[in-house]
Structure 1
């Protein structure tokens, strides 16, 4: 907000200190009169709101401040850090392990004599939960701190009339009835009804999504409703040109902006597909582990084992089935995806959102700033019956006008008849326009034609002007040029043509006949049909100006037409094509006019057919949910135009009812409810509003739709890699469980592998290789596949079969090694004790066998069909290093005395390691045979083969 000189605020009563005021009463809704504000005349508005031309008195303002509360929105709700940390312990895996740790410690207290190994197990399980919680909290806490606050959208101070004196107040102290003064560059601090308006245009993008400034007038508008009322301006929007005096009729949460805020707050966060899948998987793993543990407890109890020892045994089985390292592995793998996306200008605020984009089936995208540059650009000029193209995009004056000589006078007139200013880059920013972006586009085009507008303005100083208004739809200025005066006019083609009697030609202007007028109108219509915003530019000599402005703007000479557009981003079309190949449907949802939306959609490839389905917000209002569901079910091209926040919410919900995974892009406050309600909300970082960034899970730092396509590719890779390390993690659980079951049913009195050893494998040897699998780059054809079905499980039958295949081979190998070792010792099963050296060697062999098998298993799961040797055995060096680290840790557990006492292990011989390597390589060899059979089965048949 523009600051005032201190003397301008003299005499204005400053707000009292908070402590000196009476406690505010419950905030009342606005008076009923406020609902009919647009229909009132400017003279009737002030009395209706209990105000006057001199504003409120200080006492009245104080009373209303107490009644209506401050003019601000509540700060976005954020969970405190301790709640975020506590939430990490509500994961089902964490609950299972915490219960297991507590019950194990209780068993330690009850058993006689007390075994140190039992309390070590309890402590180890608790440490696992703490480690997982620390990793998950650190990742989410750091990501969520990137969110911006909503309050930054609202200006801090504004100019107000109180007691008849102008001054400046914090916007929080505005109340209904206050008279505020606004001009170009100001941000509107509350919802206001205009009392006076001079050449006023407002950027309503934050509320309605419209990309072009809209004119505003103080005249009554009986048929209008917010936010389309032409005599109202709304909190959070920006004044582009002109000045106004307006009276506040709504503040804080009662504003249009506040309505959107409440709509956003009411929209529930949607769980991502991955969150639902992990929750589904966790429940089933938990039930399975509990059922198997209880079954084995019931089997061992009648055999004469003590209750405590039977429980510890059953607990070991449960721990073997629960993938303790999965939460940490999942969090860090998603974090790797976050960092990859950040390198491509996509900032992810929530880890699970990384994968959600990979499963997206529908993208509802806005237009301005995402698919387009958000910078109006003149691309075509018609003058002297010829077309001239203009190259270059945006506000940077680089490019050229084809054959510029015939259009220089047209561009000179258009630039002179403008109030905008073109500002060069400063502090690393790009070229920008101060004022109306349409006028800025004309200034840029003039520079491309070789005109120096500073020199031109000095040579032709402005002496008079008739500002643009929404009724006449044109603007005119008068300039002193070479001893005479000339009028320059620009505006809507039909309005300007009606005032023209001649048209520029070579060498002199000629009469504007009806046939010429019809041809020029056809040219303007053709340009408009191409999605261009068309302005006509004209001039006349004005040696003597008398009478009203309609008389001044007569007998004009038409210089030509200028067509401009908000150009599509260069990368947008390629990104749209990539999404199409990936089977993702793209729906444009915008506040712009249908013709403009369709033109942009065609340029970027969203629309390719002759007649796409174009639906306006008014037409959506006429559809019930059944009709809306039928509309979105049609797979054809769909454009939604002139839509409100409620419309966007309805459309997103309709797609979700069909089972679609919906991503929504947006930059304005009006987009926030849909961003929050979508499966994945994607906000713009450079041009977006704070409320949009707050509601979204992902922020595009470069505002580019191209970054969405890259994020989809990386998200799909994350899902593929998650399935890889799930196969890796769960297959060794079978290798841990089967030996325990085999010992139970063969009557062996001890477990072949202890719970502490299982934890050492799950955390010490498995996590790093799983993370390395999570860092595998996307496969080359990942964007040529359709999105995975929403109902597809992480644990699909194909995944389960592969887990059983690889895990079964591991289990058979370690069972054979264990029973071979105890069987060749000559000791009867019943005589084995926990301290027996042969038993300690046997359980060490089992642990080492699983670790070595997992090393080769990690190589096997890297590919589904392709041979790992063809993919490159050493092409993932992180995986090799992680596997060797696990083997080294296993060697330390076998040989270091301190670790031997903790894990109850014994040293292995070189022959033992050779045997385990031979057994461990079996999963890789078997999987290579499986892949070869798959490749043979799906290989293309030779021509003529009719098998």
Structure 2
């Protein structure tokens, strides 16, 4: 299609310059379908709810409940306690499923946002008449009319083009608008200059085009298909919870089987022995873990939302903390996607320009000297600067480069409308890629004519005979020496990553006959350097990620020089030349060679890449064991966003396709929010490990007395299965959730990323909950057997209704609940004394623990609950003993922390345990975090306070940028030649 002449396009598509007839368009619509993308595939709501019952814990508990119901049916006489146990287990499963489903469903965005990317209406020729039709009604062969500011509704071949330029950033990632032509353009379709594609925007000019692809057949639809095909990888936490669940399940089955085998030979009937073993298995399964995990992650989601980061999948919160590589887009992510003039060279001097973006806020140094230059540049522009309206800020209608010139002119005090009124345009010689210039002719107030020109410096310099004098004074001849000075200024600006334009002017007696005549004998007024500026907060966010041991790789569709300039400004590149690989080079590499490229140490920039390249890079990093976060804002980023472990889309400037594919959306488009989200993600993981220690330690306290009673020959259990469920879901869930609100530790971003292969049940974590569980077991066994022996009743005479037994099992349950209150206080810190951080600092933990104790008191004293649990009232003396055992547990844990601190102090001569080197701190379970080398260790942390950040301490709009160099990069860092002007003026 792209290699045909304009007249041949109509024949190829069975159309005409008058467009299609209504009857033909209707027939094509029926046969080809509407111009819309299929809605994203979502599982039915019932399937999503049913999926909550498929994890291993749920399957185990459902099986246990079914077996218990069967046991109740077979018992003679039937025991109400068995029925209570079966119903309670089933209720636990349903409760966990409901909580998990509700959290996931509320966190996900359910709108079909892909359709919002396509404009709702467009202008079409039908039978020679210009009509406005719904976009979904377009068919191949339709002739559409495009003007500046229009979104392209389908893939089209231009047949007329009048200074048309299209911004392809959403599709290719290139920041500059690209000129379009109606002439044949052989080569790849996406790179052809005579085609425009769905989802892109007409930046300047006007055109007529013939539709050749609609809906899923468009380039946009191809990217959508890639996005749909990309599998959603499991997060590290998902994988580790599955491993943990398998291990717990195996342990529970083995111990239950062992106890069944031990009790049957003693003469106990098979069914009671089986129900007993089943109760032991239930005691070992952390029934409250799924609900605790879901709600804790949801709390992390809410905290991130206050940081302007919307997380759509709960488990992605934790995966953020495991991130080892961030593949970041450039345009709109690191930069503001708003071209900005930052320097003007005129008369041998450089004049800085302050302010960024399209808002005319800032100033031009020496406005008098550059006033004529900026007036000429503004007159020789077709763009329009549009003031804020509604929720939209300042924006440019037309070419963004020309928009930057208009903003600079406004900063110098020039009124574009007034200047055009004083010097009306009478002719224009449009830009073309051959001469790389544009010129306009204006009538002056005195009746004469003035030619204004702008374009690539070298091309314009060759057409100049003079140059503005010092301070913008009268022109002087362009000698070889002055020509060299201009070339040196051009190279200096370009070496800082600036796009450089030259501006010239001359007087004329008559309207020139052509561009060659107009653009000769000009007076060079000077040079303008501009760039798409980095977001102010990005540099600090990059430093934070470096301290955290996270590698940042820029992946962009832009030119390598532009990419390197921005990378240096934000700190992604700091030393010598980085490794740079283009899409062509990636095409030449097989998977093994690509992995080798990514494995090389040092800074890496991937430029001129396609959506397929981005997906290959993400997959290659994942094969190397990396946890990959990908940032992006365009439709071209969507496949990689979905394929990554964490897809991060821009919320304000990003496309709906990108937001749909990502699992995290930055509502403020701030890269700094990524660093804040990683910090919170790491904190969430550490808190998960804390409540794992808390939950599993009391499982030891429940199991140990049961084992002790079995081997001591006591005929009944020290704690019943219904009591176990009451502890797991009544007394323990709220304190576990409260532990999830612990603020991040001070050095959480000074540690290397946690290895994805590090087990959730690390040796340190298991050792810690075994230690705490052992202390609890001593207390539970002591109070239970002390009361049994104090009664003076032989073991064989005990029944479930014996008052001494009811009091003993009440003591067992209360001992676990009270010790867990002190346990929750103890596990809030890993090595630091809890008394140092404040025993009651986390009021949520204290309140939740007291609520659990109150529930235990109700079970002990309230007759209806006594009947359900078979308990008895406790005395004040009983409570005093239980509190003493709780204090003993807290003291024991403080002693363990003291030993860890002492050992750490001996391992680091001259330094206490509280001042160990960053990145070597203990994990949440008291052990170190294995990791990789942490680059940038020597960088001071100026952005994040040392004491940890509660929610209110991070500014919502990102961190201030204290590191952006005012003068750009030294000349030696980039080649002397300037950036390609991209065909723009």
Quote how far apart the aligned CAs of 1:552 are.
2.0
Q: Is the 8 A contact 2:826 2:834 kept in 1?
A: yes
| Distance in structure 2 (CA, Å) of the matches to 1:147 and 1:727 | 39
**SS of residue matched to 2:2:** helix
2:891 to 925, 929, 936: 925
Q: Which residue of 2 aligns with 1:347?
A: 310
Could you say if the C-alpha distance between residues 697 and 835 of structure 1 is closer, same or farther in structure 2, counting changes exceeding 3 Å?
Answer: same
Shift of 1:147: 5.4
Aligned pairs (5 A) from 1:580-619: 580-619=546-585
| Correspondence 1:219 to 2:191 | no
Deviation track 1:399-436 (CA, whole Å, cap 9, x = no partner) reads: 11111111000011111112222222222432222222
Match for residue 414 of structure 1? Answer: 377
Q: Aligned equivalents of 1:695 and 1:750: distance in 2?
A: 56
Residue pairs, 1:885-900, within 5 angstroms: 885-900=851-866
Q: For the Cα contact (< 8 Å) 1:357–1:716, is it kept in 2?
A: yes
Q: Which residue of 2 aligns with 1:156?
A: 120
Paired residues of 2:99 and 2:295 also in contact (CA < 8 A): yes
Deviations 1:90-118 (A, max 9, x none): 22211211221222122111111111111
1:598 to partner: Cα distance: 0.1
Distance 1:411 1:146, change over 3 A: farther
Q: CA separation in 1, counterparts of 2:270 and 2:204? A: 84
Q: What's the counterpart of residue 935 of structure 2? A: none
Task: State the alpha-carbon separation in 1 of the partners of residues 844 and 276 from structure 2.
Answer: 36
Change in 2 beyond 3 A, CA 1:202/1:781? same
Match of 1:381 in 2: 344
Which of the residues 428, 449, 458 maps onto 2:412?
449
Is the contact between residue 201 and residue 242 of structure 1 (CA under 8 Å) also seen in structure 2? yes
Q: In 2, distance between residues paired with 1:816 and 1:300?
A: 23
CA offset digits 1:600-647 (Å, max 9, x no partner): 000000001211001111111111111101000012100000100000
2:849 alignment partner in structure 1: 883
Deviates more, 1:47-56 or 1:582-591: 47-56
Residues 562-601 of structure 1, C-alpha deviations (whole Å, 9 max, x = no match):
0001111111111100100100000000011000000000
**Contact 1:415–1:443 (CA under 8 A) maintained in structure 2:** yes
Of 156, 161, 179 in structure 2, the residue corresponding to residue 192 of structure 1 is: 156
Query: Counterpart of 1:821?
Result: 787
1:718 to 684, 689, 708: 684
Matched, 1:551 2:514: no
After TM superposition, the structure 1 stretch with the greater mean CA deviation from structure 2, 738-747 or 714-723, is 738-747
Which string of whole-angstrom CA distances, capped at 9 and with x for unpartnered residues, describes residues 693-712 of structure 1? 00000000111110000000
Equivalent in the alignment of 1:133:
97
Distance 1:604 1:170 in 2: 43
Greater relative CO (CA pairs within 8 A, separation 6+): 2
Kindly state the Cα deviation for residue 327 of structure 1 after the two structures are TM-superposed.
Answer: 0.7
Look up the match of 1:772. Answer: 738
Distance 1:430 1:242 in 2: 22
Which position in structure 1 is the counterpart of 2:81?
117
Q: Match of 2:62? A: 98
Structure 1 residues 944 and 515, CA, compared in 2 at 3 Å: closer, same or farther?
A: closer
Asked if the contact 1:735/1:807 (under 8 Å) is kept, the reply is yes
Matched, 1:812 2:775: no
Q: Structure 1 residues 132-141 or 689-698, which shifts more?
A: 132-141
SS in 2 for 1:611: coil
- TM-score normalised by structure 2 residue count: 0.91
CA distance in 2, matches of 1:595, 1:573: 19
CA distance in 1: counterparts of 2:825 and 2:911, whole angstroms: 38
Question: Which of 275, 294, 297 is 2:257 aligned to?
Answer: 294
Moved more, 282-291 or 625-634: 282-291
**Separation of aligned partners in 2, 1:584 and 1:666:** 18
1:361 aligned residue: 324
What CA distance in whole angstroms lies between the structure 2 residues aligned with 1:142 and 1:577? 34
Which range moved further: 921-930 or 208-217?
921-930
Shift of 1:146: 5.9
- Confirm or deny that 1:529 pairs with 2:495: yes
Distance 1:147 1:580, change over 3 A: farther
Q: Is the 8 A contact 1:648 1:674 kept in 2?
A: yes
Aligned-partner Cα distance in 1 for 2:172–2:687: 41
> How far apart are the structure 1 equivalents of 2:117 and 2:480?
51
Q: Does 1:245 align with 2:208?
A: yes
Whether 1:491 aligns to 2:432 is: no
2:437 aligned with 1:474, yes or no? yes
**Which of 305-314 and 621-630 deviates more?**
305-314
Secondary structure, counterpart of 1:775 in structure 2: coil
Q: Structure 2 CA distance, aligned partners of 1:474 and 1:346?
A: 44
DSSP-derived class of the 1:468 partner: strand
Q: Is the 8 A contact 2:326 2:550 kept in 1?
A: yes
Report the CA distance between 1:546 and its aligned residue.
Answer: 4.2
- Residue 763 of structure 1: how far off its partner (Å): 0.9
After TM superposition, give the deviation of residue 232 of structure 1 in Å.
0.8
Q: Deviations over 1:444-496 (max 9, x none)?
A: 11111122223222222222222333333222222222122212111121222
8 Å Cα contact 2:341/2:531 also seen in 1: yes
**Alpha-carbon separation, structure 2, partners of 1:685 and 1:634:** 33
Q: What secondary structure sits across from 2:161 in the alignment? A: strand
- Aligned residue in 2 for 1:9: none
Residues 626 and 756 in structure 2, CA contact (< 8 A), matched pair in contact too? yes
Q: Is 192-201 or 843-852 further displaced after alignment?
A: 192-201
1:938 corresponds to 2:901: no
Number of positions where the alignment pairs a residue of Structure 1 with one of Structure 2: 908
Matched, 1:689 2:689: no
The structural deviation recorded for 1:161 is 2.3
Q: Distance in 2 between matches of 1:542 and 1:167?
A: 43
- Structure 1 unaligned regions, length at least 5: 1-36
Q: What does residue 753 of structure 1 align with?
A: 719
- CA drift of 1:299 comes to 2.1
2:132 to 163, 168, 172: 168
Residue 43 of structure 1 contacts residue 195 of structure 1 at CA under 8 Å; is this kept in 2?
yes
1:463 paired residue among 399, 416, 426: 426
Q: Quick check: 2:439–2:518 contact (8 Å CA) kept in 1?
A: no
Q: CA deviation at 1:943?
A: 6.3
| C-alpha contact 1:388 1:401 (8 A) present in aligned 2 | yes
Gaps spanning 5+ residues in structure 2: where? Answer: 913-985
Structure 2 residue aligned with 1:23: none
Aligned-partner Cα distance in 2 for 1:245–1:373: 31
Cα shift at 1:49: 2.4
Find out whether 1:794 has 2:760 as its counterpart: yes
- Which residue of 559, 563, 566 corresponds with 2:532? 566
Residues 64-104 of structure 1, C-alpha deviations (whole Å, 9 max, x = no match): 33332222110111223222222212222112112212221
Mapped contact 1:369–1:704 kept (Cα < 8 A): no
Partner Cα separation in structure 1 for residue 432 and residue 332 of structure 2: 27
- Determine the C-alpha separation between the residues in 2 that align with 1:68 and 1:514: 64
Distance 1:795 1:261 in 2: 39
CA shift, 1:337, in A, is 0.7
d(CA) in 1 for partners of 2:322, 2:40: 29
Does the residue aligned with 1:118 lie in a helix, a strand or coil? helix
Distance in 2 (alpha carbons) for counterparts of 1:324 and 1:510 = 86
Provide the rounded CA distance (Å) in 2 between the counterparts of 1:943 and 1:206.
56
Note the aligned Cα RMSD (angstroms).
1.5
Contact persistence 2:57–2:285 (CA under 8 A): yes
**Any idea what the Cα deviations from partners look like across 1:649-699, whole Å, max 9, x if unmatched?**
000011001000000000001000000000000000000000100000000
**1:264 matches 2:227:** yes
How far apart, CA to CA, are the structure 1 residues paired with 2:341 and 2:224? 36
Tell me the CA shift for residue 168 of structure 1: 2.6
Tell me: CA distance 1:778–1:909, structure 2 relative to 1, closer, same or farther (3 Å): same
Contact 2:439 2:515 in 1 (8 A): no
Looking at structure 1, the residues matched to 599 and 639 of structure 2 have their Cα atoms a distance apart, in angstroms, of 22
Residue in 1 aligned with 2:822? Answer: 856
Question: 1:51 maps to which residue?
Answer: 15
What is the aligned counterpart of 2:591 among 610, 625, 636? 625
8 Å CA contact 1:147, 1:349 repeated in 2: no
2:395 pairs with 1:429: no
Larger deviation: 534-543 or 601-610? 534-543
- Paired residue for 1:846? 812
